[in-house]
Amino acid sequence: MAQKVNPIDPDSGEAAEVKGEFDDGVNMTAKELKDWLATDESKSVGQKDGGESVGHDSGEKIVTMPSSQRIS
């Protein structure tokens, strides 16, 4: 069964807090992430679930998202 999600009012203090936490955690632009994912070092780290690491796979999905879908 799908989990119910209660959306946050984008003008609320809670939304500002969530965005602030996101901004603190994100330390690369999409281009920097794409460049990092192309390095041998990025391919050698992370939790493996088969071939590609879970984080590397997630990073590849992020950089292929249209910029309108990324959080800014």
Say whether 48 sits in a helix, a strand or coil: strand
Whether residue 34 contacts residue 63, with contact meaning beta carbons closer than 8 Å, is answered with yes
Q: Which two tokens stand for residue 1?
A: 């069964």
pLDDT at 68: 55
Model's pTM, two decimal places? 0.54
Express each pLDDT in 3-62 by its tens digit: 777 788 889 999 889 888 888 887 888 889 889 889 988 888 877 777 778 788 888 888
CB 30 within 8 A of CB 66: no
Res 69: pLDDT:
57
Give the tens place of pLDDT for each residue, 2-20.
777 778 888 999 988 988 8
Query: How far is Cα 43 from Cα 52, in angstroms, rounded to an integer?
Result: 7
